[in-house]
Structure 1
Amino acid sequence: MNESHAAVKLVDLRETPLDVAEVVAALEDDASGGLTLFVGRVRDHDGGRSVDGLDYSAHPTAMTRLAEVCDRVAEQYDVTGVAAVHRVGTLAIGDIAVVVATSAAHRGEAFTASRALIDTLKSEVPIWKHQRFGDGTEEWVGAP
């Protein structure tokens, strides 16, 4: 993998619980007037059905792809910091599944970059969700 863009401060896939404070601390910078954070959590429903829990699985290339997405966001937007951490393994309702953040001199650029970061991560990084529903059925989401 190529050396990361200097603005990329934190990129990881973890089986352990995610810490929002760690992501915020990674983007600490006196030049940044705005930091936009998105926290994705496991909800108790999907498509009108109750969800009991889920598992996230990552392809072996997922970490490399996540770093590439972060690098691209850092290059395309005027940001001072980029961070993205995604959970893998078994998660319960309310658990944090993903935390992304960007920092910038101004809030508008931070908002725009963070939106691009989470949207691109969801569409390009090979991480798949296996949902378990209250009625005993299950479903893979995002799997090829």
Structure 2
Amino acid sequence: MGDHGGMERDRIRLLALRDTPLSVDEVLAAVGDPAAGGTALFAGTVRDHDDEGRTEAAAVTSLAYTAHPTAEAELRRVAERVAADFPVRALAAVHRVGELAVGELAVVVAVACPHRAEAFAACRRLIDDLKSQVPIWKHQTFADGGREWVGAHA
């Protein structure tokens, strides 16, 4: 379905793991393209509780993300596959590492395509594959003193 021969790389405008605050505006600007009729953006933030796989939500007081040394290469591989499988005009993905506060942006991804349906589908695939395949883990500390490591793909 997609272009081959390095064309995917040309459409990947921004990929990064950063220990500084993320910007929705920067990601949105990176995917600006005059041939795109639809741009989908997902922003993931640190929430004040964790209810995944729990019977009751646990209050989160702090969170830190750690990336494996291969994480940037894996992020590029995921992005290239999305760009190859969808009619992507432009794509961007940034993820925080280090200590984050509740409410801070942890990840921002965006995809611009000719039409909205494909932009939504490509953006969903990008964030889902990032979470399931890029080796980034979060370390949560709970209000009750408990701590937990969670894979970004959890």
TM range (shorter): over 0.9
- Which structure 2 residues correspond to residues 80-95 of structure 1 after superposition, within 5 A? 80-95=89-104
Q: Structure 1's 143 and 27: CA in aligned 2 closer, same or farther, altered over 3 A?
A: closer
C-alpha distance after superposition, 1:45-88 (max 9, x if no partner):
01210001100000000011001111110001111011100000
1:39-78 aligned at under 5 Å gives the runs 39-47=43-51, 48-78=57-87
Distance 1:55 1:3, change over 3 A: farther
Q: Which residue of 2 is the match for residue 118 of structure 1? A: 127
Which of residues 25, 42, 60 is equivalent to 1:38?
42
Alpha-carbon deviation of 1:29?
0.9
Q: Give unmatched runs, 5+ long, in structure 1.
A: none
2:19 pairs with 1:10: no
- Paired with 1:116 and 1:35, the residues of 2 have a C-alpha distance of 14
TM-score (norm 2): 0.89
Shift of 1:125: 0.2
8 Å contact from structure 2 (residues 43, 105) kept in 1: yes
Q: Distance in 2 between matches of 1:140 and 1:3?
A: 37
User: How large is the RMSD of aligned CA atoms in angstroms?
Assistant: 1.6
Secondary structure, counterpart of 2:10 in structure 1 = coil
| Matched residues, number | 143
Q: Of the candidates 120, 139, 142, which is equivalent to residue 133 of structure 1? A: 142
> 1:104 maps to which residue?
113
The letter of the residue matching 1:36 is A
Question: Helix, strand or coil: the match of 2:73?
Answer: helix
Alignment partner of 1:21 is 2:25 = yes
> Residues 103-123 of structure 1: CA distance to partner in whole angstroms, max 9, x if unpaired?
001000000000000000000
Equivalent residues of 1:18, 1:97 under 8 A apart: yes
Percentage of pairs with the same residue: 56
Q: 2: distance between equivalents of 1:20 and 1:14?
A: 14
Structure 1 residue runs of 4 or more that deviate by more than 3 Å after TM superposition: none
Q: Which amino acid aligns with 1:53?
A: S
Q: Which runs of 5+ in 2 are unaligned?
A: 1-5, 52-56
